[in-house]
Amino acid sequence: MSELSLAYIFHHNQLLVDSNLQLPQVEKLVDDLPLQVGDQIIARDLRDLEAIPSGYQLMPIRQLISQWSTNQFEQASRAVQLLEWRRNHKFCSHCGHATQIHATEYAMVCPDCAYHQYPRVQPCVITIITRGKDEILLAKNAKTNTNMYGLIAGFVDVAETLEEAVQRETLEEVGLQVKNIQYLSSQPWPFPSNLMLAFRAEYESGDIVLQEEEISDAQFFKFDQLPEIPFSGSIAHRMIQHVIHQHSMSD
């Protein structure tokens, strides 16, 4: 008798779900090498020519963020990141031999030189900058066509502290100096495998000078006159709510 498992089945950045956004149950095939992401929960890619079962649809993962609980989203994030990592580590980065999937750990192992490759996350700082008691800095990304204003964010460099990354990104993107940098919270963000580290900082000095390839506009907005902000479920949304309404960052 074949065993049934709940399955995260991905097709690029889309996931197979039913009309209630629940996962399908599928047979666990041995030659499939599915990725085990929990007890009786597997993850794999949609196979070539695999039919989409009736009542199911492919939905962009980003759209599920605001519909699902944090736990569901984190499990889906883990699944999509581990599959992506496995796809990108088919060969040993040390000697070039084809790798094998480790039986019990999340690792790709080289049978020739025994080098183990583990999944990595990319630390990324995101900062909410306040000025006075009732203003926050919001910036519009130059690479999108929307009217949405977000927060200053960027990857942490090699040999840089998180606080230095906050200061450098703020200076590079909008030309401002900040002070009193405080850690708020974090969120895994699977596009493709970032760990978003949220900080709060206060404006110290400088006039806004845009890094034009990255930012098309940036302004300090009064709390009661905000433009369109990032969607509910994103860490940027929670950070803005936290600062304006003193909502907790922990849930």
Give the nearest distance from C-beta 93 to Zn ion in angstroms. Answer: 8
Give the nearest distance from C-beta 34 to Zn ion in angstroms. Answer: 25
Asked if 116 touches Zn ion (CB under 5 A), the answer is no
Cβ proximity to Zn ion, 89 vs 237, nearer residue: 89
How far apart are alpha carbons 195 and 180 in whole angstroms? 22
Q: Which two tokens stand for residue 149?
A: 């204003």
Helices (H), 32-104: 61-65, 70-87
Asked if 108 touches Zn ion (CB under 5 A), the answer is no
Asked if 33 touches Zn ion (CB under 5 A), the answer is no
From the list 11, 12, 90, 94, which residue makes contact with Zn ion (rule: CB under 5 A)?
Answer: 94
Distance of CA 169 to the CA centre of its chain: 18
From the list 35, 92, 138, 240, which residue makes contact with Zn ion (rule: CB under 5 A)?
Answer: 92
Asked if 113 touches Zn ion (CB under 5 A), the answer is yes
- Inter-residue contact 173 to 154 (CB < 8 Å): yes
Integer distance in angstroms from the first to the last C-alpha of the chain?
42
Give the nearest distance from C-beta 96 to Zn ion in angstroms. Answer: 7
Cβ proximity to Zn ion, 105 vs 112, nearer residue: 112
Asked if 97 touches Zn ion (CB under 5 A), the answer is yes
- For residues 10, 43, 196, 236, the Cα torsion angle rounded to the nearest 10 degrees is 50
Total number of residues binding Zn ion (CB under 5 A)?
8
| Amino acid, single-letter form, for residue 222 | K
Residue 11, phi then psi, degrees to nearest 5: -135, 105
Contacting range for Zn ion; rule: CB under 5 A; set: 5-13, 88-96, 118-126, 217-225 = 88-96
Contacting range for Zn ion; rule: CB under 5 A; set: 31-39, 89-97, 100-108, 214-222 = 89-97
On the CB side of 250, CA atoms within 13 Å amount to 0
How far apart are alpha carbons 218 and 173 in whole angstroms? 9
Asked if 11 touches Zn ion (CB under 5 A), the answer is no
Binding site for Zn ion (CB under 5 A): 92, 94-95, 97, 110, 112-113, 115
